[in-house]
């Protein structure tokens, strides 16, 4: 009988315990790693949150400073750096979950760092593409450090803002109201177009489109249809061509402000052409917004028409000097002596649109130019010298005239200003400003020397910087006769070809549902039959407010006037700082150039 030795059994319970312990060890290691990761991640998250909170706190300070600077800039001018860097521009921390200590870049607590750079003429960024501006870059820094949180996770925010002025005549068309343009013929707008409200634009047909060759933007909306308040063009739409199709036209663009009043309301902005409010410092930035304070020569009359002229120079004491009359007329027979101004007179004529007699102060530009070179005691060379030499120098010759007409405005007469014989301007250019309607008779600013002329669309080679600013602007051709009366038919008022080379700023009578404003195409008012006659205009079209004196709506054609063949263009000289018209109004603007955060 065979005996077999028993095979020993493995100790399975011990092996299972080893495996279990191994798995448990791995699990503990993984758990520990996970807990460490969770803990580390929580710390990182906490630090990130804390850093973001510090950044937000620092940014709140810079935004408070930016807001304060914007308020000051739009209402007057930037204050010294100390006004913005102090503790008065720190946020109130009541109810904040964390308390922060604010400091500047040098570690000074309860302060910020503000640097205002030099004022320079510069090309503006994309939102103002094609424009130039005079302004300064301002750097604002704030550091925020959380207190009593166990970690010093401070953050510094840097913002760079450009504050500056954009000359309004850099725009081919600028409207502070709804802009309407619905021409009956093809029309090409070769410069930038902006409205602080809506734009309503149509062309007359596919073969006669309205063409925009530059950027078009509206602070509200752009529509390729007529205004709902326009009863004249209800059946029109479209036929608008944009040469630049990149983000063009643009709605909801930044509105551009004028430094007057508290907003862009046309009822407020109209004050820009009036007499400055009492107590306004004429040399201050807000005072200089008024053409009256910028003008070198001020012409005014009494309610009965007696004329007075003053020379104005804010560097001189006194700032205004009475100008003596420069012509003496002795009547030997009557034994009388009359003195008067050669360049300023009173005239009267009839306006068919207003159905009113115009009582105008007339500025004869040729005689004014000659007076400026007259070296006699009553001549204008004295004032030219004061403007250009010595401690009283304005840095330019006499180039700005402000006219105030005190003739009462009644149902039978309207005060106004008329400019005549203006083909050749004074050598420093000329801007004529008034709160009243302006009439221009004959060619304006077409030659510098009387030999070579700029009378074609797009040609301003032989011109000087020039502008006309008034309640309305009406063009009278050289054929116009003041003998025209209410009984003179339009067939007897035939115009002759005329060229106007000047920026024009005026008011309009807006569309109201009963009548059409006339649109940009009728911006320059006419009182003659221009059928088949060319009206050439090179300049800038600016509408800021509703007319207050020339208040009759656009009359249509056939009685007051017949339309001209329009050859209109933006004067590209206005893109050059030295060639801008004297007394050009400045739009206030800003843009954010840099935003950065650091620890």
pLDDT digits (tens, 9 = 90+) for 242-287: 999 988 999 999 898 876 755 667 778 888 999 998 888 999 888 8
Residue that finishes a domain, picked among 201, 230, 256: 256
205-233 b/e (C-beta count within 10 Å ≥ 16 → b): eeeebbebbbbbbbbeebbbbbbebbebb
Instruction: Please check whether residue 420 lies inside any domain of the structure.
Output: yes
| Pick from 419, 416, 427, 323: nearest CA to 377 | 323
Instruction: Please check whether residue 92 lies inside any domain of the structure.
Output: yes
Instruction: Please check whether residue 413 lies inside any domain of the structure.
Output: yes
Burial bucket for residue 144 (CB in 10 Å: 0-12, 13-18, 19+): buried
CA–CA separation, 104 and 598 (whole Å): 13
- pLDDT given for residue 373 in this prediction: 97
Per-residue pLDDT 10s for the chain (599 aa) are 454 555 555 555 567 777 666 677 766 676 666 665 555 565 666 667 778 888 999 999 999 999 999 988 887 788 999 999 988 889 998 888 889 999 999 999 999 999 999 999 999 987 888 899 999 999 999 999 998 877 778 899 999 999 999 999 999 999 999 999 999 999 999 999 999 999 999 999 999 999 999 999 999 999 999 999 999 999 999 999 999 998 899 999 989 887 675 566 777 888 899 999 888 899 988 888 899 999 999 999 999 999 999 999 999 999 999 999 999 887 766 666 789 999 999 999 999 999 999 999 999 999 999 999 999 999 999 999 999 999 999 999 999 999 999 999 999 999 999 999 999 999 999 999 999 999 999 999 999 999 999 999 999 999 999 999 999 999 999 999 999 988 899 999 999 999 999 999 999 999 999 999 999 999 999 999 999 999 999 999 999 999 999 999 999 999 999 999 999 999 999 999 999 999 999 998 888 998 998 76
- pLDDT given for residue 429 in this prediction: 98
CA–CA separation, 246 and 206 (whole Å): 22
Check whether residue 315 and residue 443 sit in a common domain: yes
Check whether residue 163 and residue 177 sit in a common domain: no
Check whether residue 315 and residue 414 sit in a common domain: yes
- pLDDT given for residue 1 in this prediction: 44
Check whether residue 230 and residue 304 sit in a common domain: no
Check whether residue 466 and residue 499 sit in a common domain: yes
- Tokens representing 447 are 């030659």
Check whether residue 385 and residue 529 sit in a common domain: yes
- Tally of domains in the chain: 3
* 3-state secondary structure (DSSP) of residue 244: coil
* 3-state secondary structure (DSSP) of residue 559: coil
459 — phi, psi (to 5°)?
A: -105, 110
Check whether residue 356 and residue 451 sit in a common domain: yes
CA–CA separation, 222 and 195 (whole Å): 9
Neighbours of 597 (CB within 10 A): 16
Check whether residue 305 and residue 227 sit in a common domain: no
Residue that finishes a domain, picked among 204, 239, 256: 256
Q: Are the beta carbons of 285 and 277 closer than 8 angstroms?
A: no
Q: Give the residue numbers spanning the domain of 113.
A: 15-168+591-598
Check whether residue 148 and residue 193 sit in a common domain: no
- pLDDT given for residue 43 in this prediction: 62
Check whether residue 437 and residue 320 sit in a common domain: yes
pTM: 0.88
- pLDDT given for residue 8 in this prediction: 53
Instruction: Please check whether residue 355 lies inside any domain of the structure.
Output: yes
Q: Are the beta carbons of 125 and 589 closer than 8 angstroms?
A: no
CA–CA separation, 414 and 426 (whole Å): 29
Instruction: Please check whether residue 412 lies inside any domain of the structure.
Output: yes
The CA-to-CA distance between both ends of the chain, in Å, stands at: 93
269 membership: H or E segment, kind and range? helix 266-269
- pLDDT given for residue 362 in this prediction: 98
65-86 b/e (C-beta count within 10 Å ≥ 16 → b): bbebbeeebbeeebeeeeebbe
Check whether residue 319 and residue 343 sit in a common domain: yes
Instruction: Please check whether residue 74 lies inside any domain of the structure.
Output: yes
Check whether residue 322 and residue 393 sit in a common domain: yes
- pLDDT given for residue 268 in this prediction: 81
Instruction: Please check whether residue 30 lies inside any domain of the structure.
Output: yes
Instruction: Please check whether residue 393 lies inside any domain of the structure.
Output: yes
Q: Are the beta carbons of 206 and 239 closer than 8 angstroms?
A: yes
């Amino acid at each position: 009988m065979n005996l077999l030795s028993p095979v020993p059994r493995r100790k399975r319970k011990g092996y299972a315990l080893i495996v279990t312990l191994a798995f448990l060890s791995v699990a503990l290691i993984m758990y520990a790693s996970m807990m460490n990761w969770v803990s580390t991640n929580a710390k990182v998250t906490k630090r990130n949150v804390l850093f973001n909170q510090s950044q937000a706190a620092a940014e709140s300070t810079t935004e408070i400073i930016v807001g304060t600077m914007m308020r000051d800039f739009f209402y007057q001018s930037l204050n010294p750096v100390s006004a913005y860097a102090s503790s008065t521009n720190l946020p109130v921390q009541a109810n904040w979950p964390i308390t922060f200590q604010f400091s500047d870049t040098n570690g000074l607590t309860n302060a910020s760092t503000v640097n205002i750079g030099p004022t320079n003429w510069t090309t503006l960024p994309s939102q103002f593409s094609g424009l130039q501006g005079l302004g300064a870059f301002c750097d604002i820094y704030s550091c925020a450090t959380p207190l009593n949180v166990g970690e010093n996770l401070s953050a510094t925010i840097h913002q760079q803002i450009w504050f500056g002025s954009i000359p309004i005549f850099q725009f081919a068309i600028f409207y502070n109201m709804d802009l309407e343009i619905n021409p009956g013929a093809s029309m090409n707008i070769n410069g930038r177009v902006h409205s602080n409200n809506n734009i309503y634009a149509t062309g007359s047909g596919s073969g006669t489109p309205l063409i925009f060759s530059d950027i078009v933007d509206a602070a509200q909306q752009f529509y390729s249809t007529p205004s709902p308040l326009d009863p004249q063009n209800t059946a029109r739409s479209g036929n608008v061509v944009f040469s630049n199709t990149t983000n063009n036209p643009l709605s909801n663009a930044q509105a551009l402000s004028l430094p007057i009043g508290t907003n862009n309301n046309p009822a407020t902005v109209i004050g820009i052409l009036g007499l400055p409010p009492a107590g306004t410092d004429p040399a201050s930035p807000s005072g200089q917004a008024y053409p009256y304070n910028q003008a070198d020569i001020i012409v005014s009359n009494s309610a009965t028409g007696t004329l007075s002229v003053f020379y104005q120079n804010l560097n001189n004491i006194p700032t205004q000097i009475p100008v003596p009359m420069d012509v003496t007329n002795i009547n030997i027979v009557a034994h009388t002596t009359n003195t008067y101004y050669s360049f300023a007179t009173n005239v009267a004529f009839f306006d068919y649109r207003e159905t009113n007699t115009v009582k105008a102060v007339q500025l004869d530009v040729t005689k004014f130019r000659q007076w400026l070179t007259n070296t006699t005691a009553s001549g204008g060379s004295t004032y030219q010298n004061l403007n250009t030499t010595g401690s009283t120098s304005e840095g330019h010759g006499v180039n700005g005239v402000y006219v105030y007409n005190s003739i009462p405005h009644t149902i039978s007469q309207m005060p106004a200003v008329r400019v005549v014989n203006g083909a050749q301007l004074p050598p420093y250019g000329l801007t004529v400003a008034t709160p009243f309607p302006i009439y221009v008779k004959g060619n304006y600013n077409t030659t510098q020397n009387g030999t070579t002329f700029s009378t074609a669309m797009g040609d301003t080679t032989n011109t000087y910087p020039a502008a006309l600013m008034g309640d309305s602007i009406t063009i009278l051709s050289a054929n116009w006769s003041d003998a025209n009366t209410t009984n003179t038919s339009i067939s007897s008022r035939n115009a002759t070809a005329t060229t106007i080379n000047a920026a024009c700023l005026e008011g309009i009578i807006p569309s109201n549902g009963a009548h059409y404003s006339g649109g940009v195409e009728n911006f320059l008012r006419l009182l003659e039959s221009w059928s088949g006659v060319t009206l050439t205009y090179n300049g800038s079209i600016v509408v800021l407010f509703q007319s207050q004196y020339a208040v009759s709506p656009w009359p249509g054609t056939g009685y007051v006037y017949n339309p001209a063949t329009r050859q209109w263009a933006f004067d590209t000289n206005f893109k050059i700082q030295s060639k801008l018209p004297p007394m050009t109004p400045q739009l206030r603007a800003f843009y954010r150039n840099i935003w950065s955060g650091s620890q």
